Amino acid sequence: MTRFNMSESEMPSAWFNILPRLATPMDPPLHPGTREPVTPDDLAPLFPMELIMQEMSPEPWIDIPGPVLDILRLWRPTPLVRAERLEKMLDTPARIYFKDESVSPAGSHKPNTAVPQAYYNKMEGIKRLTTETGAGQWGTALSFATAQFDMECMVYMVRASFEQKPYRKIMMQVWGGDVVPSPIDDPSNPGSLGAAISDAVRDCVQRDDSHYALGSVLNHVLLHQTVIGLEARDQLRAAGEELPDVVIAPCGGGSNLGGIAFPFVPDESVRLVAVEPSSCPTLTQGRFEYDFGDVAGMTPLMPMYTLGADFMPPSIHAGGLRYHGDSPIVSKLVHEGRMEAVAINQGKVFDAAIKFANAEGKVPAPECGHGIAVAIDEALAAKESGEEKVILFNYCGHGHLDLAAYDEYLSGRMIDA
């Protein structure tokens, strides 16, 4: 058996909160004006109070609301798949498993948090959400989620991806989202997630009917994604595996990495690996310090690895990983040695993605290809050592709307950044 499914009744009914399980407490975010720790009232213009409470909750488990579960059941639980054909291609004794998050309506893991964010805002009477998106996966997911609750959605899409991935824009529009390129005031600028966040926050605070929604980085976002790792733990047991030896996922802001890895943090024997692009090496070359989450300095300052809020990354195809900072929780885990981080260039990413597509029949998103590349590295290392290592990675999204990137790679026109 290579595919391990769960019934709807087995889907997690609560999110796994990593905050009370950390070895040391998190440092607080700071107000951009006073540089004092932010209060719930400081965040109220941006987020509903329930999400603000989740951001700092000491509770080990947080119940998933029934209306959210009803929508998540459209595609969850997602399958755990053993990549036996990839194992055979690599001639490795390792057992490779991937959690297939590409089966969601938006084609990625992003709806796992888009749906609860839309729900909590709707319950607070908010009619419109603003957001940023890099490759478009988050904007697509939030457009889907707001459509479920009859809300408006305004998406500021990083200009480089807006031009590279036109069908992502169309997919958002199908679900009623409005999409514009960012930065809105500089058409010559390829943009960054930090700049798009500034545009979205600036829009939000000017309207009483609007809140802001973030697709990564913040604690509540990664909390919602833990359904991935919780399901994977149960499915691995069904596959006859006690625990994985290593858990791997790409990392831009940390949402899909946190989702699959956080439920394994208490298991000290399990290695956790974040994979980022060499052209935006936040965790591997950034500084661990307080920094703004956006270019304009409108957001709270967060303790995280950062390349500087004004860092403008090259226009690589993994647009969802082009962020100057990272999740404060992920940053803390890397800083304290509980999590590893590696950086790879996009040539290696697409080489691995094509190997995977030929072995397993699935075309991954460029972001997803980062995790696949390192999973292959781990499998080949197991081959050298003769270890029967258990490797788990997050197949966080398909690449059906990223075929222009594959065309560049296959035609030899891709810059190996």
Residues 6 or more apart whose Cβ sits within 8 Å of residue 412:
none
pLDDT tens track, the chain, 417 positions: 699 999 999 999 999 999 999 999 999 999 999 999 999 999 999 999 999 999 999 999 999 999 999 999 999 999 999 999 999 999 999 999 999 999 999 999 999 999 999 999 999 999 999 999 988 999 999 999 999 999 999 999 999 889 988 999 999 999 999 999 999 999 999 988 888 989 999 999 999 999 999 999 999 999 999 999 999 999 999 999 999 999 999 999 999 999 999 999 999 999 999 999 999 999 999 999 999 988 888 889 999 999 998 887 776 655 568 788 999 999 999 999 999 999 999 999 999 999 999 999 999 999 999 999 999 999 999 999 999 999 999 999 999 999 989 999 999 988 777
Q: Are 317 and 242 a contacting pair, CB within 8 Å?
A: no
Residues in a beta bridge with 174: none
Place of tokens 């001639």: 91
Cα–Cα distance, 343 to 274 (Å, whole number): 9
Place of tokens 């009803």: 70
φ and ψ of 75, to 5 deg? -140, -10
Tokens standing for 392? 């788990």
If DSSP codes are grouped into helix, strand and coil, which group holds residue 245? coil
If DSSP codes are grouped into helix, strand and coil, which group holds residue 319? helix
Would the pTM count as exceeding 0.75? yes
Residue ranges and CATH numbers for the domains of the chain are: 71-108+220-410 (3.40.50.1100)
User: For residue 140, which amino acid is it?
Assistant: T
φ and ψ of 76, to 5 deg? -100, 155
